[in-house]
Chain A
Amino acid sequence: MKKLINDPFDMVEEMVDGFLSANDDIVRRVGRRSIARVASPIDGKVGIVVGGGSGHLPAFAGYVGHGMADGAAFGNVFASPPARPVVEATTAVDSGAGVLYLYGNYAGDCLNFDKAQDQCQEMGMDVRTVVLNDDVASAPVEQADRRRGIGGLFWVFRIAGAKAEQMASLDEVFEIATRANANTRTVGVGLTSCTVPANGRPTFHLEEDEMELGLGIHGEPGIKRQKVAPVDDIVEAMMDMILGDLDYSGSEIALSVNGLGGTPAEELYVVYRKAREICDANGLRVRHKNVGEMVTALEMAGTSISLVRLDEEMSALLDSTVNTCMYKKP
C-alpha cells in the first residue's frame, strides 16, 4: 500500500482537520466528526444534513455550502458515521424550519441516521429523511428499496439544496428530494480495486484485463465480471441498463459522468461523449450535465453514469448558483 498517510487509523481525523482549515470560509467544525456552514443556522431555512463513510469526497462533506447541504457527518472509511456527529450537525443547522437527511441506502447509514433522527426529534427538532437509491445494478427494479445510493446522490443534493435555498418548507424540500431520487438512475463500472487504509490490502482483485459492471462505491462486487472492452461498448452496456430501468423518452434530462477516484478526466470525457451520443440518438434532451469526480471510492479506477429525468421545476432549480466546499457553479 502506497498512500500519503501517517498512521492509517488517524487518517480520517487528519483529513477532517485539513478539510476544515482549507474550507474555513464556508464551513466550521461542530463536533469531532461533524461540520456545518459557517452561517448556520440560517433563519427560516430548512437544513440539509448529508453524510456517510469517508473515502467518497467530494461526497459528502464537500457538498456543504450554498445551494446544496448545510451540514455533514464523517464516518470512518467506508463506514457510516455513528449517530452522535449526525446529531451535532442537525443541531447546528436547525433554524426551527426543520432538517432533512439525505444519504445513500446502506444498512449502517440507515441504522445510525435513524437513531440520530429519533434523538433529534426527542429534542423537539422536526427531522425527515430521504434515503437515496439510484444504483440500478444493486437490485431489480421491483426491489428498489434494496438499491444502493451511488453517483446520482449529487443530483438529489443539488435539487433539494436549491429548493431549500429558496426558503421552501420542510414538506416541499422533502417532496422534491423524493421526486429527484425517484427519477435518478446510475450504473457504475470498476476497473481496479481500492485499499481501505486501515486494512492495508486491496478490497478485492481484478485481473489486468477484467472489469466489474455494476460495482458499488465501496468495492462491493457488481453484477458481472467481464473482459475490459472498448469504452464505447462499456458505455452502451451501462446506458442500456439505465434506459431499460426508467422511461426517459421525451424528457429533459441531467447527465453526469462521475470518476471513482482513479480515472483521469480525459477518460471521463470519452465516456461522456458516448453517453451523450446515446442520449441524442434516443431523443433525450440533455439540459444539465456534469463531468468529474462527484462520488468516489478512494483510488478506484472506473466511472459511473447518472441520468435524471427532469421536470420543469427540477430543471429550473439546477440553474441556480452553487458555492460549496468542493463544487461551485456561478
Chain B
Amino acid sequence: MPTLTGDSVRLLLDQVAIDVESNKDLLCDLDGEVGDGDHGVSMTIGMRAVRRAMDDLAPDPSVEQAFQAASDAYAIEVGATIGPLYEVAFAAAAQACSGKADVSSVSDWVQIYQAMFDAIQQLGGAELGDKTLLDSFHPAIEKLASLEGQDLVPSLEQAAVTARQAAEATKELKPMKGRASRLADRAVGYQDAGATSLAIILESVAAFAAHVRS
C-alpha cells in the first residue's frame, strides 16, 4: 500500500499537470469540433500554474495545502469556464483532506473525488447527461466507491478505466452547457473535451499511485 502524504500529493499534482499538458492537442481537437478549440490550452495554462504553485510550496506541505495551492493557481491564471470549476474542485478536495496526514485509502479518494464532483456540479449547474466532465467523473466515483476497503492502486486504476469509457460514451450525448450547447444535435458523435481531460486526470492519479507503490 502506498502512503500518499502531502508531499506525495504535491508530486502527484505535478505529474497530473504534465500528463494533461501532453494531451493538449487532443483536447483542443475535441473542443474544436463543437466549441472554440481551446480546452487543451486552458487546461495547459491552468496546469502550468499548478506546477509553479507546487514548486513554490513550502517543504512538507499538508495534503490540504497542496490541493489548495492548485485551487489558487486555477483561480488566478485560467478564467474561462474551466478555471472557476477546477478552482472550486481543488478547494473542495483540500477541504475534504483537512487534518489528514495522508490520503492512502480508497475511502480517502472517494471523499476527495466526491467533494470535487459536488463542487463542480454546484457551480456549473450541469446535470448528468448534459455532456460535461460530470459524465465521466460520476461513473468513476461510483466505481471507486464500490471498491472501498480494497487496495488503493487497482481501485484507482479501475476508476480511471471507467472514466475513460464514460468519456468515450459522451459521444452519444447532446450538449446542454457551454458553447457546444448551441449546437445540440450537431455535437452528437463528438466526445466531450472536458469529460476527456477529467479521465486523463484520473488516469494520471492512478499511474502516480502505482509508481509510488513500486
| A residues adjacent to B (C-beta < 8 A) | 9, 53, 75-84, 106-108, 111-112, 115, 138-139, 146, 148, 196, 198-201, 203-204, 216, 218-221
Contact = CB atoms under 8 A, between A and B. Distances in A.
Q: Which 5 A-B pairs have the closest CB atoms?
A: A203-B37, A218-B36, A79-B80, A108-B81, A82-B79
A238 to B, nearest CB: 18
Q: Which of B36, B77, B186 has the most CB of A within 10 A?
A: B36
B84 A219 contact: no
Q: Secondary structure at chain A's binding surface: helix, strand, loop or mixed?
A: loop
Given A107-B179, A115-B84, A201-B25, A84 B36 contact: no
Contacts of A146: 181-182
Given A199-B37, A219-B32, A79 B182 contact: no
Interface stretch (B41-49, B53-61, B111-119, B163-171): B41-49
A139 B79 CA distance: 24
A219 B36 contact: yes
B148 interface: no
Contact of B76 (A77, A84, A108, A201): A84
Contact of A112 (B84, B177, B183): B84
Q: Which of B32, B77, B182, B186 has the most CB of A within 10 A?
A: B182
B178 interface: yes
Q: Which of A107, A201, A204 has the most CB of B within 10 A?
A: A107
A9 B45 contact: yes
A82 B83 contact: yes
Contact of B32 (A75, A76, A204): A204
B34 interface: yes
A204 B37 CA distance: 8
A112 B25 contact: no
A111 B126 CA distance: 13
Contacts of B45: 9, 76, 198
Contacts of B101: none
A220 B36 contact: yes
Nearest to B45: A76
Contact of B182 (A108, A112, A198, A220): A220
A80 B32 contact: no
B189 to A, nearest CB: 13
A204 B33 contact: yes
B177 A82 contact: no
B19 interface: no
Given A198-B45, A199-B41, A219-B36, 11 more contacts: A75-B80, A79-B42, A79-B78, A81-B79, A111-B85, A115-B84, A198-B38, A199-B28, A200-B25, A216-B36, A220-B180
B81 A80 contact: yes
Given A108-B81, A204-B33, A138 B42 contact: no
B84 to A, nearest CB: 5
